[in-house]
Amino acid sequence: MGQITEDTLYQGRVTLFQPEKGFRASTDSLMLAAALPEKSGGAALEIGCGCGGALMTAAFRLSQMQVTGVDIDAVMTDLARQSVSSNNFKDRVSVETGNAAEWVRDKENRFDLVFANPPYFEPGRISAPGAEKAGAYLESLSLDGWIKAMAFAAKPRAPIVIIHRAAELARILAVLDRLTGEITVLPIAPKHGEDARRVLVRGRKGLRRGEVRLLAPLVTHTADGEASEALDAIRHGRAIDW
């Protein structure tokens, strides 16, 4: 691994240790954390936490929950643990190293909230990125398997929240429709009038199927490229109302 940087999120309120190059916390991480429903107590799980971009900001927002992150990359989980310590989250945030599908086997129906930003591509479907980005962009587990692991670990009726490429929405819904109900989709578009590039998707485990709610897009930038009010609020640690 190369150089490590110590950065801050939420205007200096959250510290994050991450690689100088490769997979770093992004707007996707902040979007995911902002999309999580606040709960008074209980346990939350992030599958594929990486170095902890979404995990740390989620832990900051969900201050009354015990939060666990799991990732297959030991280098990333070591960095996430450094961030846990730096943010004084040790009493309620833990980071585990392991393959998600194997890690959840003895954790069925355990978590009150499960969230993830699954890797964006599967091995063999595209040309592989550099090794430093492989964990973020290549699935060690298929997207279907990733979502099934999330649902397995969630308690009945618990929310499952995912951020992913908009191009994969049909695939995500095909899996979630079998496992969850009350599915809501929030497209994320870079500017008004442009196609969404990301989607936030939420379902609740085990509920009856119903109509999928497709919301108006969340737009991240103005026409001149400045951050929108919605994105600025997310960067300040505010929740997405959806």
**According to the model, what pLDDT value does residue 139 have?**
45
Instruction: Tell whether the model's pLDDT for residue 136 goes beyond 80.
Output: no
State pLDDT tens for residues 175-230: 999 999 999 999 999 999 999 999 999 999 999 877 899 999 999 999 999 999 99
Other beta carbons within 10 angstroms of residue 156's beta carbon come to 9
Stretch 13-34: mean pLDDT, rounded?
92
Instruction: Tell whether the model's pLDDT for residue 134 goes beyond 60.
Output: no
DSSP state of 125: T
17/191 Cα distance (integer angstroms): 30
Banded pLDDT at 20 (limits 50, 70, 90): confident
* Cβ–Cβ under 8 Å, residues 34 and 62: no
Question: Higher model confidence: residue 1 or residue 78?
Answer: 78
93/12 Cα distance (integer angstroms): 19
* Cβ–Cβ under 8 Å, residues 61 and 84: no
Q: Are strands 198-205 and 159-165 parallel, antiparallel or unpaired?
A: antiparallel
* Cβ–Cβ under 8 Å, residues 46 and 111: no
H or E stretch at 69: strand 66-71
State pLDDT tens for residues 54-69: 999 999 999 999 999 9
Stretch 2-13: mean pLDDT, rounded?
93
Stretch 34-45: mean pLDDT, rounded?
96
Domains plus CATH for the chain? 4-235 (3.40.50.150)
Instruction: Tell whether the model's pLDDT for residue 3 goes beyond 70.
Output: yes
The position carrying tokens 């998707």 is 201
pTM equals 0.91
* Cβ–Cβ under 8 Å, residues 50 and 23: yes
